[in-house]
Chains A and B, each alone.
Chain A
Amino acid sequence: MKKVWWKILCAVFLIYTVIAGFLIDVPRLPILHETIRNQYFHVCMWFAMLILFTTSLYFSIRHLSSGKQEHDIIASEATNTGILFGILGLITGSIWARYTWGAWWTNDVKLNGAAITMLTYLAYLVLRNAITDEQKRGKVSAVYNIFAYVMMLVFILIYPRMSDSLHPGNGGNPGFNKYDLDNHMRMVFYPAVIGWSLLGVWIMTLRIRINRLSLTLSEREGT
């Protein structure tokens, strides 16, 4: 029970988010109206992605200093799951944009920044696949991961603050929104963030376990 409490919490929060997100009242803001409910999904995806990428950065740095393969596995699986959440974030944003702005994609600083971040981390995946030697792969992808993270921070934190954006609220991505969250929304939003982030961590731990198991299997077959 000790090990699964957070998974049960995650499931409960997510079910609560989906149900309460659509049933509880939301403040009426211009342009946004009911679609502000997207916040429970779209913004949470970015939070989860950031948490996963930060985890990946931390373990990349640890891998560089320690050389242990475990850290490399965690870094790479965190990045994989982070990419998944990033793509989901882009999709949820795009669907929202279709109904609010009338287009699936617009030429907006934040959107472009998010898309380029995805490209950067997809290039990370390509790099990992291109190197066959495990030790080398860990080190090289760790170095690239650090670069990618720094550039991501530039893209999603610095650029949007420097220019105007159509995107609702200027604190969108990981910053705190200036949506005039009222207490009703906060009741759903905070559990939603926790729920989605826990889901991301859950997926990541599953992938790490699969990866470790396949490594053990291949080692056993080798000897």
Chain B
Amino acid sequence: MMTEELEILKKAWKNDTYSYAQVTEIQIYDMIHKRSSSIVKWILVISLIELVVWSAISLLYVDDEYIKTIELYQLDTLFKIVGIINYGVIFYFIFRFYKNFKTISTTENIRNLMKSIINTRKTVQYYIWYNLGMFTLIFITVVISQIIYDPNLNQIIEQTKNSFPRSFWFIIGMTYVALFAITLGLFWLFYKLIYGFLMKRLYRNYEELKKMEY
């Protein structure tokens, strides 16, 4: 009977048949001054880099040339509004991230600990989705405004109207779309790799716990 066997293991477990090589006080002192390599630490480091990089990209990309261009495309008012929204969103995400991060506690039960790590991670993920979405919208708006308002581009279109067939412009358009898709794909792959590496085990164990509840 298996139950009996588990009981045998329990007896051995209690008697501590195996004596573990004991760690001394000095060794413990050494240990507590070493750096942790826990996934929470890595998630914090990566997340902070992400928040800083994405915020920098969306807030700092402004020079004279850029301002002239958006004025030409009549996008200045729209971009001002987008800029204000962006500030708000960044502060909101940093606040959420901080709140979630604070709830991560090793003294919580296993499931809650996993949940708070996943939530913290998700906050950053949503922030990245927001940025990618925003970039897509801005990209489309700029391309459309460029076609409508850019005199140089219109001139080129006018001049080449007869020398290039329509399919030429179609190919140009498709190239734009393909480049955009590739960029998004690379982002996706990058995050899959980083977080797959860090979070795979956590997700697997979380699923295992969830399965028990059904």
Partners in one complex: no
